[in-house]
C-alpha cells in the first residue's frame, strides 16, 4: 500500500532551518486530551521563558496563538488531512494576525500519531483592529473524498452539509446526508470562496 502520511522521522529540524522556531511537534494520544508536546519552537511559545516539552497540550492556555491552533486537532480524526488556519489571536499579550498549517504524521503510513504545526504571524497595526479581527477560519489544502463541507445552495434552501464522494480532475461530487441528489462543484472554488463553501471535518 502506498504511504499516505509522512512520519515524524521525516521531519528534520536542521532541514527546516530557521523556520523550526515557528513550528511545534505534537504526539497524538488516542484520548486526544492526553496528547503531549514533543517540542515547541521559540516563536510559538506563549511566553519566552515557557517550555512545553513533554507536557500535555492542556498545559497551553486556549487564549494564545498556540492554543488557537491546537483547537483544530480534532479535525484530523479519523482520517486526517492537512489543514490551513487563519485569523487573529493573542500572542504574548498582543493581538496578531496569523496563518498556520497542521500536517498529520504517521509511523505506519495510515494512523496519525503526530502532528506538525507551523505558523507565521504579525502584530495588528493601528487601525486594523476592528477591520481584521475575525473568527478563526479553517480550510484544507486539498479537496478529498470523505470530507464534510457546508455548502451554500439557494436551490436547496440555503446552507446544507454534504460529503465529498468523489474527486475527478476539477470536479468534486458531494452527497447531502439523507438525500440522493449529488452536488457537483469545482475544488478550486471550494478552497477560495469561504463565503459559499466551508470545510467542516473528515467523516
- Residues making up the chain, counted from first to last: 203
| Residue the block writes with cell 463565503 | 195
| Residue the block writes with cell 504571524 | 121
Secondary structure letter of residue 195 according to DSSP = T
| Residue the block writes with cell 536542521 | 14
- pTM flag (> 0.75): no
Q: pLDDT digits over 53-91, tens only?
A: 899 999 998 888 999 899 888 877 666 678 888 888 889
**Domain regions of the chain by residue span:** 8-140, 147-202
Which residues lie closer than 8 Å to 151 by C-beta, 6 or more apart?
A: 159, 160, 161, 162, 174, 183, 185, 196, 197, 198
Q: pLDDT digits over 7-43, tens only?
A: 777 776 655 667 889 999 999 998 888 999 999 999 9
Fold classification of 8-140 (topology level): Beta-Lactamase (3.30.450)
CA dihedral 156, 157, 159, 165 (to 10 degrees): -10
Q: pLDDT digits over 141-182, tens only?
A: 688 888 888 898 887 778 889 999 999 989 999 998 777 778
Which CATH number fits the domain 147-202, given the four candidates 2.60.40, 2.40.128, 2.30.30, 1.10.3470? 2.30.30
HEC string of 59-73 equals HCCCCCHHHHHHCCH
Tell me, what's the pLDDT at 3?
A: 46
Amino acid at each position: 500500500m502506498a504511504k499516505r502520511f509522512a512520519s515524524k522521522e521525516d521531519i528534520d529540524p536542521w532541514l527546516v532551518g530557521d523556520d523550526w522556531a515557528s513550528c511545534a511537534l505534537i504526539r497524538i494520544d488516542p484520548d486526544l486530551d492526553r496528547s503531549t508536546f514533543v517540542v515547541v519552537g521559540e516563536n510559538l511559545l506563549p511566553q519566552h521563558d515557557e517550555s512545553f516539552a513533554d507536557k500535555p497540550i492542556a498545559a497551553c492556555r486556549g487564549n494564545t496563538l498556540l492554543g488557537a491552533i491546537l483547537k483544530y486537532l480534532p479535525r484530523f480524526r479519523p482520517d486526517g488531512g492537512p489543514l490551513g488556519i487563519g485569523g487573529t489571536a493573542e500572542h504574548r499579550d498582543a493581538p496578531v494576525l496569523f496563518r498556520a498549517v497542521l500536517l498529520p504524521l504517521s509511523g505506519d503510513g495510515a494512523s496519525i500519531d503526530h502532528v506538525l504545526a507551523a505558523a507565521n504571524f504579525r502584530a495588528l497595526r493601528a487601525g486594523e483592529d476592528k477591520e481584521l479581527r475575525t473568527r478563526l477560519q479553517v480550510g484544507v489544502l486539498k479537496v478529498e473524498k470523505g470530507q464534510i463541507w457546508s455548502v451554500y445552495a439557494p436551490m436547496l434552501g440555503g446552507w446544507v452539509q454534504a460529503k465529498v464522494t468523489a474527486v475527478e480532475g476539477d470536479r468534486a461530487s458531494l452527497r447531502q446526508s439523507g438525500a440522493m441528489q449529488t452536488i457537483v462543484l469545482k475544488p478550486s472554488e471550494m478552497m477560495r470562496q469561504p463565503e459559499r463553501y466551508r470545510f467542516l471535518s473528515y467523516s
